[in-house]
Amino acid sequence: MSDGKGTGVTRDQLIQGLQEDIAREYKAIIQYIIFSQKLDGARYMEIARILEGHAHEELDHALAIANQLDYFGAYPVHEPKPVVVSEENEGMLHADLDAEDETVRAYRERILQAVELGEFALAEVLQEIIRQEQDHQIELATALGVVADPRQRGKSQAQAQKTSS
């Protein structure tokens, strides 16, 4: 995909991708609403407050994607991606981090597709969203004591810091 030749993506595929993106945003809203209230213990007070902030940002993302779908004449889907729940603090944070990893991966692909099709306004909207999604990744990874970039996460902390600096 980074060979400069593009992916040959069609406008229909781009719209289909945006439908997947909005379904992921719905899922994120639901998980953040539940987990921000269900995290418990003094250690998790701060991150619970942060997750509440994420819920609001995910709603803004869903609205922004719906607006872009409307521009393309597409009716937004109404089903969220499958919501993952947990009763356990770390389980909730891991479920959110997994979702953010997938979301960042998908928006990277979507931005490349938008640029390839000359949809620069869409690309700009998506770039602002992906910046916030990476912040979400960082906040969750920090709470879990892992590296934010999933591509570096398998490595030891010291190795990862060296590669990312």
Chain residues binding Fe ion by CB under 5 A are 25, 58, 61, 133, 136
19, 76 in Cβ contact below 8 A?
Answer: yes
- Helix (H/G/I), strand (E/B), else coil: 2: coil
- Which residue lies nearer to Fe ion by CB, 119 or 133? 133
- Helix (H/G/I), strand (E/B), else coil: 84: coil
* Closest separation in Å from C-beta 134 to Fe ion: 9
- Which residue lies nearer to Fe ion by CB, 86 or 155? 86
Question: What's the distance, CA 104 to chain centroid?
Answer: 5
- Which residue lies nearer to Fe ion by CB, 146 or 155? 146
Angle subtended at Cα 67 by Cα 116 and Cα 35, rounded to the nearest 5 degrees: 100
* Closest separation in Å from C-beta 103 to Fe ion: 6
* Closest separation in Å from C-beta 73 to Fe ion: 23
- Which residue lies nearer to Fe ion by CB, 131 or 151? 131
**Of 146, 152, 143, nearest in space to 45 by CA:** 143
* Closest separation in Å from C-beta 152 to Fe ion: 19
